[in-house]
Chains A and B, each alone.
Chain A
Amino acid sequence: MILVTVNGEPRQLDAPVNCAELLARLELAGKRVALERNGEIVPRSRFPEQMLADGDRLEIVVAVGGG
């Protein structure tokens, strides 16, 4: 088990887990999102390879209405 923070909220995850699997578990698979892990962007192409580690801080963002 690892403990990560996703959008400011703590989450416990069964390890090993990569970014693609995380998004799937959050029901975000196939949605247009961008992901930042510990301040660095993880390109979409690397979602299946990038493993998550205990203590990771993740930001998952989307485009919303704004001026």
Chain B
Amino acid sequence: MKPHENLDPLVIAGKPYSSRLLIGTGKYQDFAETKAAVEASGAQIVTVAIRRTNIGQDPKQPSLLDYLPPSKYTLLPNTAGCYTAEDAVRTLRLARELLDGHDLVKLEVLGDPHTLYPNVVDTLAAAKTLVAEGFKVMVYTSDDPIVAKRLEEIGCVAVMPLASLIGSGMGILNPWNLQIIIGNAKVPVLVDAGVGTASDAAIAMELGCDGVLMNTAIAAAKNPVLMASAMKKAVEAGREAFLAGRMPKKLYSAAASSPTSGLITPSTRSA
């Protein structure tokens, strides 16, 4: 770990993490590729889904947690595939039991199986229930600044607005809303969904996001492990650029970067 990483941790529910890149574990070819991508990304927090176990499967078959042990990673159970608050809450209660009481969770309630756009109404309802039951909720939501603030007020530990639709790779479609959400938030804001390539992640961090969560951008790249490495650098670069304080944008500037005196060629001025 580089020295500066210790000085700028991502703090979620009071716990510091040196990596601001969180990744999902879906859509990979196999567990080995998943593990290699996670390692290349430097991610410490990885999302997992909760599903019925296959009964009758060979008990000697490895499971995801054999490759990504809870002792080494913070596993963030999600509620992917849930379309109601009730199902999301049920899923996360099971997840907490599955992971020995770990209660840092990702809440997502989807509204539409085609676009996978979030159902913010049920998301708000589920968040209220989960927070009351002691869960630490990182909540996936739209880029609606009012909803984002409401979720924070309910007690979510992080707010995670989409950049664009899940799996679309379109990058940040509305940087203005994202900036408003970041400006209003007192909890970490992580862009979740829609990141497609490294520059998208860097832009998110330059806007002031505290972190980025992605899955498809890495898993669906032609070389996922290489993309994971790119994303690690992109998040770090974007964060440093944000902390460095960028120069202002201007339409034009007469302030050249090089001295204007001492030129070897005399300048001719037109009359």
A residues whose Cβ falls under 8 Å from a Cβ of B: 6-9, 26-28, 31-36, 39, 41, 43-44, 59-67
Contact = CB atoms under 8 A, between A and B. Distances in A.
Given A7-B55, A8-B52, A63-B65, 18 more contacts: A26-B56, A28-B59, A31-B59, A32-B98, A33-B98, A34-B94, A36-B90, A39-B90, A60-B53, A61-B51, A61-B94, A63-B49, A63-B63, A63-B77, A66-B25, A66-B51, A67-B27, A67-B216
A63 B50 contact: yes
Nearest to B53: A62
A67 B53 contact: no
A56 to B, nearest CB: 15
Contacts of B98: 32-34, 61-63
Contact of A41 (B63, B80, B94): B94
B64 A27 contact: no
Interface string B68-98: 0000000101101000000000100111011
Contact of A66 (B49, B63, B214): B49
Given A66-B24, A66-B49, A41 B55 contact: no
Given A65-B28, A66-B80, A67-B47, A28 B53 contact: yes
B119 interface: no
Nearest to B193: A67
A45 B94 CA distance: 14
Contacts of A39: 90
A61 B26 contact: no
Interface of B: 24-28, 31, 34, 47-53, 55-56, 59, 63-65, 75, 77-78, 80, 90, 93-95, 97-99, 166, 214-216, 219
Given A65-B34, A66-B48, A67-B215, A41 B25 contact: no
Nearest to B28: A65
Nearest to A30: B59
A37 to B, nearest CB: 11
Given A36-B90, A43-B97, A44-B97, A61 B52 contact: yes
For the complex of A and B, list the 5 residue pairs with the smallest distance between their C-beta atoms, beginning with the closest.
A66-B49, A67-B215, A67-B24, A34-B98, A65-B25
Contacts of B34: 65
Contacts of A44: 97
Contact of A31 (B47, B63, B97): B63
Contacts of B26: 65-67
Given A62-B63, A63-B48, A33 B55 contact: no
Nearest to B50: A61
Contacts of B55: 6-7, 9, 26, 28, 60
A27 B26 CA distance: 25
